[in-house]
Amino acid sequence: MGRTSKDKRDIYYRLAKEQGWRARSAFKLLQVDEEFQILNGVTRAVDLCAAPGSWSQVLGRQLADVEGAKIVAVDLQAMAPLPGVVQLQGDITKESTAEEIIRHFDGGKADLVVCDGAPDVTGLHDMDEYIQAQLLLAALNITTHVLQPGGTFVAKIFRGKDITLLYAQLRVFFKKVTCAKPRSSRNSSIEAFVVCQDYAPPAGYVPTMKNPMLDVDYNDTNSALTGPNRFIVPFVACGDLSAWDADQTHALDLDTYTRLNPVQPPTQPAYKSAVEKLRSQDQVRVPL
């Protein structure tokens, strides 16, 4: 496979390098914002599961001219610094992490919380959907600690048979919930993004990390909702037909084309120790 193969197959991978984004996922947030204007009026934003930092990049660029704007990026692993972004290495299931976020906002709360986190997929769709749902609920849990009323929450979701149950849970906290599919997200992927607007927690609700929020018994009775208890999830495609197609192979003009390296290499790649061992054993130069 040639060095230009991925640039041909994935137009957004190529555009990300050309425009200086750390990952192609930056276009997903840009297209969600284009459809829903989620960044309007935002001065305090939180990016959960932020590494490698493409969504934090989008927030940093889009809010660069907003006076007093503050952005906090949270992840368990370290990532390379970004201008205008405060990085917090922490666990989103810990109350101390929520307290640290609010401390960075000088006691205030966020206008916007986004989360592009996802587990390492196994290929077993039911398992992947369940794990992603638990990650989404963990992100929602910390969001109830740090988001102010009227705020917006955007998170990745894997569309499956239980999406209506997740939608009903999100509707407990937000007046409007929409499932969006950006143009830059491949049609072959089951990923989508829930855009939850106008945060309005139930009267008397007290955020807590001690008990799993909205913990339910996933049996046939609860998962098979009927009548008025069953919600039809609004589904919106973000980006008009003039946008690039993420599933199409795009030709390259090899006479003028210049291949670019990724904007930000991994700070601590998992393969680093293996490469160092090969170098020490074989005494040969192995590129990282």
- 25 alpha carbon, distance to own chain's centre: 8
With both helix axes pointing from N to C terminus, report the angle between 54-62 and 26-36 in degrees, rounded to the nearest 10: 40
55 assigned to a ligand binding site: yes
State the Cα–Cα distance between residues 233 and 162, nearest whole angstrom: 11
Active site residues: 156
Ramachandran angles phi, psi of 150, nearest 5°: 90, -5
53 assigned to a ligand binding site: yes
State the Cα–Cα distance between residues 180 and 177, nearest whole angstrom: 10
Strand order in the sheet with 70-75: 85-89, 70-75, 44-48, 110-115, 147-158, 191-199, 174-182, 235-238
Amino acid at the residue 233: V
- Beta partners for 180? 193, 236
Q: Cβ–Cβ contacts within 10 Å for residue 98, how many? A: 22
Question: 3-state DSSP call for residue 135?
Answer: helix
75 assigned to a ligand binding site: yes
212 preceded by cis ω (within 30°)?
no
240 assigned to a ligand binding site: no
Binding-site residue ranges for S-adenosyl-L-methionine: 53, 55, 75, 91, 116
